[in-house]
Structure 1
Amino acid sequence: MEPSTNCGDVTMNCSISDVGHGDETNYFNSPLLLQPSYARSKSLLCDELRSFRISLRWCALDHSSCKGKFISYFMFVFLTVFVPLISSLSVSLQVPSSALTTDTTGFNLLVQFPESGLAFLGFLTLCCFFRRYGLRQLLFLDALQQDTTFVRRGYTRELDKAFRHLAFILLPSFFVEVAHKIIFFSTVKISLPYVSSGFPLNSIAFVLVLWSWVYRTGVFLLVCVLFRLTCELQILRLQGLHKMFDGCGSDAGDIFQEHVRIRKQLSVTSHRYRFFIIASLVVITVSQFVALLMVLASKSDKNFFNSGDLLVCSAVQLSGFFLCLLGAARITHRAQGMASVATRWHMNMTCATAGVEQGKVVLHNRDADVALDPHSSQSKFNESDTDDSSDIFISISTQHPTSNYQARQALVSYLQHNNRGITLFGYALDRGLLHTLFAFEFSLVMWILSKVVVLS
């Protein structure tokens, strides 16, 4: 991650970037990604990444200096390894039921391992990202100068609301976790060598355990949010590419170059996050099915005290992973639909070329074939009722010269063979792969249920 500047440098850089703007009010009201200072500033604290940088500091994930790295590694070891280990070994229940004691201890250990494992994956991923790319390059902000105003404004909005998705998952889970920990630490007794047990020790343990949970959960969800934000940028670019097919003014070569640029960034995104996605899938699958096996095999009653933490852990894991899968599936669906859009664009352009020679333009809709005079003032197009981008009608205008037929045909063939979005080692993360994962997970559930029924 780029080294941060001090307050004096920030003020100086911000003031320098304001020189040359006549209307200062309009300048500050315009989105930061559209301001001229964006092209020159690489590490301003007053830029659009300020919320990210502040969040990274509060999460002890600032790697912009040696001091920040030391604090980050220390807090990771302390909150991910030391606190869960000590809290698990020092807890003793003040209840007579041995079965309840065994179930609570087992469920607690089952929660600690996947939470620390996912936090380790998230921390390792973030460390690699900050060391190799930096925050701006990680979010493809340096390449936004080549995009249209539509894409830059849309990405600015996505940056502003990026942490809402993290808050929607973290805050409800946090309140449930607080309620569970209050009940838990009011029932258990913390025993440490050379330290007297009592209310102060339980209160300190309560704060440390809750702090550890927030840190581990936040690190995992932060990587999920970064991945989804990257997917949203590519979705905006695909929407901009779709607009290039509207009408016949776009050249096939320009569309090809734009798609090659998007395809390259999709490939880079897939390579960056594929280890995190696959490793998270393995950790979540193992933890969920071990938890299912333990819950079904346990003979005691299940309640909020002994299994509430397990419920919160499972909800956070699945929510974060589904956030990644949803972003990847959406962008892959968009990328696969480009071939259909290009095919209809090629068909309409070809029909327009033939229609101009005969004095009319032939438009093909999915509901009816309409023959219209290009000079008629009563020509209207019916809008489709679906939200799918592949069903959007493409209008034809005879005001622009048409592209070469061979170039359009080559573009269609290229898009048909390069229509994959996010990939995992060559496999497109689309609906087909999601169906395969669901079938695999469902088979494991049925296998565990059969084992439990046989053992019972």
Structure 2
Amino acid sequence: MVSEDEEQGSSPESDSPPPPPSPSPSQRPLLLNPAYAQCKSVIHDELRSFRVFLQWCALDHSTRAGRAASYAAFVALALLVPAAVSLSLRADAALSRDSASAITFNRVAQAPATGLAVISFATLAAFFRRLGGLRKLLFLDGALRDDTAFVRRGYARELDRAFRTLAALLLPSLCVEAAHKAVFFFCTVRVEPPAAVFPFATPLLLPWRAVALVATVASWVYRTGVFLLVCVLFCLTCELQILRFEGIYGMFDVESRPAAAEIFAEHRRIRTQLLATSHRYRVFIICCLVTITVSQLGALLVALSSRDAKSFSNTGDLLVGSAVQLSGFFMCLLGAARITHRAQRMVSIASQWHMSMESSMHHGKSSSPATTSASDDVDASSHVSGSSTTAVSQAEAGAPCSYRSRQALVTYLRHNGGGITLFGFTLDRGLLHTIFVFEMTLVLWILSKVVVL
């Protein structure tokens, strides 16, 4: 009779060789290592939509040829085309009684659009020259690997939402702008290229109205797209920091008893990236604020001083341009204010956490001595109480977050609670209220001057 051991030894499973050991994380290929999943993306590119947009708008600075094409497109679409079209416009009372005022409004609207395009293109060129690409600009290269899965998933959603926001701002405005330009060039003004620029051109050689329409719409898409792209990139960077603050809020949990050193290290990393973001975008925000303020006040002054009737054909440029500029700029201001108030909220949460930890420790200290029965003698009860008190004191001494470390963390957060700053001024709701009051004062001053005159 064959024993059970012999049967097991003769089974096919025992004859098969043992499975090979799984490779260690250090021996895995880099493409299969989870640590590099967010650093190098081969199959799924999180920034594919942005890269396609950069290529279509001739803003790809990854190669030398792309950089040369980008500068050439900027000079042609942002500077030469608006200047050539403005010089080619002629008033024609036979087409429209408001032809002269339409040309004036068009030139007033073209100046701020070109100025914001110059500021935005210079900002993007500086980013690509110093940082090398979008990944370092958006903190996707290396920095995102230290975050939790919650932050990475949320940032992936914000990337898709940011491109949809860019399309939602650009496409409706493009439709309105194209309709206005069609009415403007074919029903309001006459287009005659200046002889100094086109000495060989005559009105019968080419359909100059159609050429001016296509060139103007292409120039408007380029200038507006560059400006909105920088605004969306800034808001996307702010959303990443908001997700990180929401992640650090979860670290203030009394049950988990986190170490103050871990919270301090995480907040310091976020604080470093906030300072980098402030230094990168402060010139852009201030220049946009000055440009938009001057352009809006100038447009208001020109519109109030003109006695012609206001209609879509002559003031459509001011309407579309103002809507796009204010939408992009206020999107930047609101994003900066949100991240600033998330940073300031950290002090309140840390103070509540400090108080909860301290009260829980005092509650544990008061209830830690074991209650003994009345039949126990005095020596035994004192021995139990002394041993319990010693255990509590040892637990406090070995606790990951002591009173001094928590108090030091709260003090640090109280003095480092700022978010996005502009040369030392924190961009929060108080600064937004100041900007609003300043703009309203200038508007009222211009209205008073116009009414008096």
TM-score by length of 1: 0.81
Q: Which residue of 2 aligns with 1:139?
A: 138
Match of 2:201 among 195, 220, 232: 195
| Structure 2 contact 91–100 (Cα < 8 Å) conserved | no
Cα 1:449/1:97, change in 2 over 3 Å: farther
Q: Which residue of 2 aligns with 1:11?
A: none
SS in 1 for 2:190: strand
Question: What letter corresponds to residue 158 of structure 2 in structure 1?
Answer: E
| Structure 2 contact 109–321 (Cα < 8 Å) conserved | yes
SS in 2 for 1:196: coil
Match of 1:276 among 284, 292, 298: 284
Cα 1:325/1:39, change in 2 over 3 Å: closer
Cα 1:60/1:335, change in 2 over 3 Å: same
Deviation per CA, 1:34-68: give whole Å up to 9, x if none: x55436638x5852222221111111001111110
Q: Which residue of 2 aligns with 1:229?
A: 236
SS in 1 for 2:115: helix
Deviation per CA, 1:317-346: give whole Å up to 9, x if none: 000001100100000010000000000000
Matched pairs, number? 387
| Structure 1 contact 79–212 (Cα < 8 Å) conserved | yes
- The CA deviation at 1:197 is 1.9
Q: Which residue of 1 aligns with 2:450?
A: 452
1:319-398 correspondence to structure 2 within 5 Å: 319-359=327-367
TM-score by length of 2: 0.82
Q: Which residue of 1 aligns with 2:171?
A: 171
The range that moved more, 75-84 or 196-205, is 196-205
- The CA deviation at 1:94 is 2.9
The range that moved more, 175-184 or 209-218, is 175-184
Larger Rg: 2
Matched, 1:161 2:166: no
- The CA deviation at 1:97 is 8.7
Q: Which residue of 1 aligns with 2:294?
A: 286
| Structure 1 contact 88–109 (Cα < 8 Å) conserved | yes
CA distance in 2, matches of 1:216, 1:262: 33
| Structure 1 contact 62–72 (Cα < 8 Å) conserved | yes
Q: Which runs of 5+ in 1 are unaligned?
A: 1-15, 21-34, 361-397
CA distance in 2, matches of 1:356, 1:191: 88
Q: Which residue of 2 aligns with 1:239?
A: 246
Q: Which residue of 2 aligns with 1:58?
A: 56
- The CA deviation at 1:227 is 0.2
Q: Which residue of 2 aligns with 1:258?
A: 266
Q: Which residue of 2 aligns with 1:10?
A: none
- The CA deviation at 1:156 is 1.1
Matched, 1:403 2:410: no
Q: Which residue of 1 aligns with 2:213?
A: 206
Matched, 1:112 2:118: no
Cα 1:444/1:126, change in 2 over 3 Å: same
Q: Which residue of 2 aligns with 1:74?
A: 72
Q: Which residue of 2 aligns with 1:375?
A: none
- The CA deviation at 1:151 is 0.8
Deviation per CA, 1:249-269: give whole Å up to 9, x if none: 211111011111100100000
Cα 1:221/1:19, change in 2 over 3 Å: closer
Cα 1:206/1:321, change in 2 over 3 Å: same
Cα 1:341/1:110, change in 2 over 3 Å: same
Question: What letter corresponds to residue 163 of structure 1 in structure 2?
Answer: F
| Structure 1 contact 349–402 (Cα < 8 Å) conserved | no
CA distance in 1, matches of 2:37, 2:227: 30
SS in 1 for 2:90: strand
CA distance in 2, matches of 1:186, 1:336: 55
CA distance in 1, matches of 2:32, 2:128: 32
| Structure 1 contact 154–236 (Cα < 8 Å) conserved | yes
Percent identity for Structure 1 against Structure 2:
56
CA distance in 1, matches of 2:146, 2:400: 25
| Structure 2 contact 35–145 (Cα < 8 Å) conserved | no
SS in 2 for 1:244: coil
SS in 2 for 1:197: coil
Deviation per CA, 1:220-242: give whole Å up to 9, x if none: 00000000000000000111110
CA distance in 1, matches of 2:208, 2:436: 45
Matched, 1:315 2:323: yes
Question: What letter corresponds to residue 47 of structure 2 in structure 1?
Answer: L
Please report the RMSD computed on the Cα atoms of aligned residues, expressed in angstroms.
2.0
